[in-house]
Amino acid sequence: MLQNDADIIAGIDVEKVRSDFPLLTRKIYGKPLVYFDNAATSQKPTAVLDALEDYYRKYNANVHRGVHSLSQEATEAYEGARRKVAAYINAAYDHEIIFTRGTTESINLVAATFARKFLKEGDVVLISAMEHHSNIVPWQLVCEEKNAKLEVIAINEHGELLMDDFEKKLTDKVKFVSITYVSNSLGTINPVQEIIKRAHAKNIPVLIDAAQAVVHLPIDVQKLDADFLAFSSHKIYGPTGFGILYGKEEWLNKLPPYQGGGEMIKTVTFEKTIYNDLPYKFEAGTPDIAGAIGLGAAIDYINSHGKDNIFKAEEELLEYAMDALTSVKGLRIVGPLTNRVGSISFLLEGFHPFDVGEILDKQGIAVRTGHHCTQPVMDFFCIPGTVRASLSFYNTREEIDKLVKGLEKARMMLG
């Protein structure tokens, strides 16, 4: 199992990449950090940290409102980030990119505004059994308010979506489908293109939660034909508290504003307010300017390596990790063995995930334990939670070997 290879995976020089991420040099309990909590948040490269600092040190100013040079520089960097995001996911127009606080706010925005205008008593919103809480609770809130019904597409014991059940539940009552591209707790890749196609055949709009997909898979919103797509900056090497809602122009024009305030208006009188054009109609108040610039820098960073190279390197690492982990005695993978990404949930039979996570931490290995904000998934498998090791392209095979050794140690200590 131990393999001291040079770690050039799919053309990516992993050691060189690691030197771009200052935090990866940290020690935990005197041991080199092994960071396997990438699905919760990724580490940030120097290029992103520098971009954030440069903004605050060199051209901090509010956007869109000033004729002075600083404001123009800030506006150019902020709008430049929008163009980078649009290109990254192949949106038809820059104004289809709405800046939000993250995936959670993006989904809340769509749920609240769609429901306000279109959802009626007796209507159905369809989600899946593997959604993150942020793609469940916003819909529960609006369904409760409108006396609509939330229905759930079932999954099987491998953590895969049951497409037959989807077909069965896609009735005329369904007014919206909201589904994750990749499950954060199971690693499953869902057939979202097919889901969108079938929903569109019945004129039903679809939101794709791409919080996990965006860092592992190429996203082309036009090819997918997604009506909405949401993701967070912090999962793709950008800063926290910032994210994206992509919406098709025609849908964004149909929806009412989410919040009121500055920036989202053209004119205000006490009698009537005229709303701003896209994307500003959905961006009330002073935005997270540094967040946008940081995400832009993260996209530049990804592009500097080539996203296809990154995804290929991740796939190879995943294959190595799956082989290594499935060889650990008593380890059970929770989720599919194929058609998946490197968010690997597992259980060491007989031991609580929390205890396993604590022992790994003492060895410098950061994994996540618990329900991963998908309590219904844990209920489905009748388990309290899992240990989740989630990989990034800056992880190495040697780190996976350390995880395997750490798990063997955990089994010995707990057993």
Structure tokens at 157: 């014991």
Q: By CB under 6 A, is residue 212 in contact with ligand PLP?
A: yes
**Residues 49, 52, 373, 383: which is the catalytic one?**
373
CB within 8 A of 124, min separation 6: which ones? 148, 149, 150, 151, 169, 171, 173, 174, 175
Closest listed residue to residue 221, CA positions, set 243, 247, 197, 199: 247
Provide the minimum distance between the beta carbon of 215 and ligand PLP in the complex, in angstroms, as a whole number.
10
The residue among 74 and 236 lying less far from ligand PLP, judged by its C-beta, is: 236
Q: Which two tokens mark 148?
A: 């609509």
CB of 180 to ligand PLP, least distance (A): 5
**If binding is defined by CB under 6 A, does position 211 make contact with ligand PLP?**
yes
Output the smallest distance, CB 76 to ligand PLP, in A: 27
Rounded CA-CA distance 395/367 in Å is 13
Is 43 among the residues that bind ligand PLP (CB under 6 A)? no
Q: Which pair of tokens denotes residue 57?
A: 């040190």
Query: What do you get for the CA distance between the two ends of the chain, in Å?
Result: 23
Q: Residue 408 is encoded by which pair of tokens?
A: 């063997």
Selected from 184, 363, 369, 392, the binder of ligand PLP by CB under 6 A is: 184
From 38, 43, 180, 276, residue interacting with ligand PLP (rule: CB under 6 A)? 180
* 396 lies in the site for ligand PLP, by CB under 6 A: no
Residue (291 or 406) nearer to ligand PLP, CB:
291
Site for ligand PLP in 75-134 (CB under 6 A): 102-104, 132, 134
Q: Closest CB to ligand PLP among 199 and 214?
A: 214
Q: How many residues sit close enough to ligand PLP to count as binding (CB under 6 A)?
A: 12
Q: State the minimum distance, in angstroms, from the CB of residue 396 to ligand PLP.
A: 24
* Token pair belonging to 214: 């965006």
Q: Measured at the alpha carbon of residue 146, what is the angle toward residues 145 and 152, in degrees to the nearest 5?
A: 95
In this structure, are residues 244 and 100 in contact, taking their beta carbons and an 8 Å threshold? yes
Tokens of 92: 């038809």
Q: How far is the CB of 342 from ligand PLP (least distance, A)?
A: 13
CB of 219 to ligand PLP, least distance (A): 14
ω before 279 within 30° of 0 (cis)?
yes
Shortest approach of ligand PLP to residue 136 CB, angstroms?
A: 10
List of E strands, 248-382: 265-268, 273-275, 331-333, 343-348, 365-366, 368-370
373: annotated active-site residue: yes
- Please say which residue, 14 or 192, places its beta carbon nearer to ligand PLP: 192
Tell me: does residue 283 bind ligand PLP (CB under 6 A): no
Task: Give the nearer residue to ligand PLP in terms of CB position, either 107 or 407.
Answer: 107
Binding mask 191-210 for ligand PLP (x = CB under 6 A): ------------------x-
d(CA 253, CA 91): 16
- Residue closer to ligand PLP (CB basis): 132 or 307: 132
Residues 229-248 within binding reach of ligand PLP (CB under 6 A): 232
In whole angstroms, give the CA distance from residue 82 to residue 45: 20
For 264-337, strand residue ranges (E) read 265-268, 273-275, 331-333
> What phi, psi does 391 have (nearest 5°)?
-95, 155
Chain residues in the site for ligand PLP (CB under 6 A): 102-104, 132, 134-135, 180, 184, 209, 211-212, 232
Catalytic residues: 373
